[in-house]
């Protein structure tokens, strides 16, 4: 302690006894659960995998902080809620984080500081950043013990407001903000991230989306040549270039489709029937489905279009989707298939809001993409930890913020002796049994 934190302060007296306090408790950590994250990281091998893809020009004989350790400290900090690299100036001495990074809490060297981390965020070249992104796709494919017969991938973009003049940031009139619009791709059925890509703050064109998907599908096909892929997205992605690419690659798709006069006319009879039936039944809401074949001039062919028609006391609402599926009812295509993509928005929230992946404040877009990779790695650690929780437990489907509060923010005293390091966690931890079970699941042979 080299500041005023050791100076005592007080609280109101209780039971006629004075209450005094000071930050002088010794080698304590408030993030004891970081050890669980460290076990998940060792299982996945994320940090070693990423570090191997970045050129390190330093003299190995003089390296104090190996690149894998630098990335590991940053990723663990993000998962624990410290999204700013400035926090490493304090966490570098935290006994829990030191132990999680493979260093002894007292006799071991402190972790890297913020300037070291910031330099490495800006160090990778364009080619190396591309390799890092491919590594995350490889990690997704490796998360399956064997190639699945089929997967459904959800693609979406989200606004990332900037507060400066970062490269690639643009003013977006829809959001009335200067921003990025990064693309997120998830395997929604398993909540696993596939790709997170930084891009300018404008709506992507069909040619741009096709290029991103071509590279993604090529990378997935290297692992799963026979897996059937279904792609889902909103109206941004229902572009003729994208649909033509999917059809050429044997990929099924269902995309939102903006309404127009031709589509409304095609389902006019069905819409009138729904409106009349709702009035006759005096129902607050009545929903029906219809389908047609439609071909815009830019499409060059007819495609199946499904309409969801909903009449209510507020009026008539019609939504359209275009799909490559020739089988299945219109209700199944819209309700069971297309609407399920709404879960992807929750996953984007986990990534963006609960892991603060919108902290893309570097000037260079390459550095900001590196940050997205690091935040995605932190997402993998928390997801791996959650997947270890028994399905009957209340935290089995918890959001990351809840996991952080219940399992990571656990106080503990770290005691280093000549022969061992002992972690003494808070006796009143509400989820001590689960914590112990998770630790043993990662280390079944441990004490």
Token duo for residue 143? 């998360």
- Flag whether 193 is in a domain: no
Q: What is the pLDDT of residue 440?
A: 92
Closest CA to 56 of 136, 100, 119, 111: 119
Residue 347: partners with Cβ closer than 8 Å, 6 or more residues away? 154, 184, 186, 188, 191, 193
Tell me if 120 is assigned to some domain: yes
Q: Which of 323, 352, 367 is where one domain is finished?
A: 323
DSSP assignment letter at 301: S
Contacts of residue 158, defined as CB under 8 A and 6 or more positions apart, other chains included, come to 181, 182, 184, 348, 352
Of 269, 299, 323, the position where a domain reaches its end is 323
Residue 446: per-residue pLDDT:
55
Does residue 118 share a domain with residue 31? yes
Specify if 398 maps to a domain: yes
In a domain? residue 339: no
- Output the pLDDT for position 1: 45
Q: Is residue 303 part of a domain?
A: yes
Local confidence pLDDT in tens for the 447 residues of the chain: 455 556 888 888 898 888 888 877 778 899 999 999 999 999 999 999 999 999 999 999 999 999 999 999 999 999 999 999 999 998 999 999 999 999 999 999 999 999 999 999 999 999 999 999 999 999 999 999 999 999 999 999 999 999 888 999 999 999 999 999 999 999 999 999 999 999 999 999 999 999 999 999 999 999 999 999 999 999 889 999 999 999 999 999 999 999 999 999 999 999 999 999 999 888 999 999 999 999 988 998 999 999 999 999 888 999 999 999 999 999 999 999 999 999 999 999 999 999 999 999 999 999 999 999 999 999 999 999 999 999 999 999 999 999 999 999 999 999 999 999 999 998 888 999 999 999 999 987 655
* Total count of domains within the chain: 2
Indicate if 311 and 394 belong to the same structural domain.
no
- Final residue in a domain of this structure, among 323, 340, 361: 323
Alpha helices in 5-85, H assignment, sequence order: 34-44, 46-51, 67-79
Q: Range of 403's domain?
A: 26-124+390-442
What order of strands is seen across the sheet that includes strand 177-180? 160-161, 177-180, 170-172
Domain membership of residue 376 (yes or no) is no
Q: Tokens 């490493």 correspond to what residue?
A: 88
Query: Would residue 230 count as lying in a domain?
Result: no
Residue 157 within a domain: no
CA distance 47 to 231: 30
Task: Specify the pLDDT at position 26.
Answer: 76
Question: For residues 149 and 171, is the Cβ–Cβ distance under 8 A?
Answer: no
The pTM is what? 0.93
CB 351 within 8 A of CB 341: no
Half-sphere exposure of 185 (CA within 13 A, CB side): 24
d(CA 295, CA 218): 28
Tell me the β-bridge partners of 414: 423
């Amino acid at each position: 302690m080299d500041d005023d934190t050791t100076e005592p302060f007080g609280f109101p007296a209780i039971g006629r006894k004075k209450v005094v306090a000071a930050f002088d408790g010794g080698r304590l950590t408030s993030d004891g659960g970081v050890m669980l994250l460290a076990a998940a990281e060792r299982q996945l091998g994320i940090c070693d995998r990423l570090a191997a893809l970045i050129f390190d020009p330093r003299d190995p004989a003089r390296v104090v902080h190996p690149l894998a350790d630098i990335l590991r400290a940053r990723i663990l900090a993000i998962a624990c809620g410290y999204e700013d690299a400035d926090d490493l100036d304090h966490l570098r001495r935290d006994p829990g984080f030191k132990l999680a990074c493979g260093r002894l809490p007292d006799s071991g060297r402190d972790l890297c500081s913020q300037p070291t981390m910031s330099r490495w965020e800006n160090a990778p070249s364009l080619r190396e950043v591309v390799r890092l992104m491919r590594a995350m796709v490889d990690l997704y494919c490796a998360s399956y013990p064997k190639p699945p017969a089929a997967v459904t991938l959800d693609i979406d973009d989200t606004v990332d407001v900037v507060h400066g003049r970062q490269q690639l940031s643009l003013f977006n009139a829809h959001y009335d903000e200067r921003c990025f619009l990064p693309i997120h791709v998830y395997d929604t059925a398993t909540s696993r991230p596939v790709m997170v890509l930084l891009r300018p703050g404008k709506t992507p064109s069909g040619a741009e989306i096709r290029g991103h998907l071509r590279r993604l599908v090529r990378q997935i096909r290297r692992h799963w040549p026979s897996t059937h892929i279904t792609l889902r997205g909103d109206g941004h992605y229902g572009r003729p270039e994208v649909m033509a690419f999917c059809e050429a690659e044997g990929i099924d798709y269902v995309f939102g489709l903006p309404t127009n006069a031709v589509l409304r006319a095609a389902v006019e009879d069905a819409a009138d029937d729904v409106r009349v039936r709702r009035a006759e039944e005096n129902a607050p809401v009545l929903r029906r489905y219809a389908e047609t074949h439609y071909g815009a001039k830019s499409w060059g062919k007819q495609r199946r279009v499904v309409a969801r028609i909903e009449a209510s006391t507020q009026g008539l609402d019609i939504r359209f989707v275009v799909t490559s599926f020739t089988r299945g009812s219109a209700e199944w295509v819209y309700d069971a298939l297309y609407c399920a993509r709404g879960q992807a928005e929750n996953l984007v929230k986990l990534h963006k809001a609960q892991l603060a992946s919108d902290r893309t404040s570097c000037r260079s877009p390459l550095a900001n993409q590196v940050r997205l990779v690091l935040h995605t790695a932190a997402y993998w650690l928390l997801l791996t930890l959650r997947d270890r929780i028994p399905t009957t437990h209340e935290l089995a489907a918890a959001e990351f913020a809840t996991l952080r509060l219940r399992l990571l923010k656990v106080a503990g005293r770290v005691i280093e002796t000549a022969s061992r390091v002992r972690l003494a966690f808070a006796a009143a931890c509400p989820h001590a049994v689960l914590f112990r079970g998770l630790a043993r699941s990662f280390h079944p042979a441990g004490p």
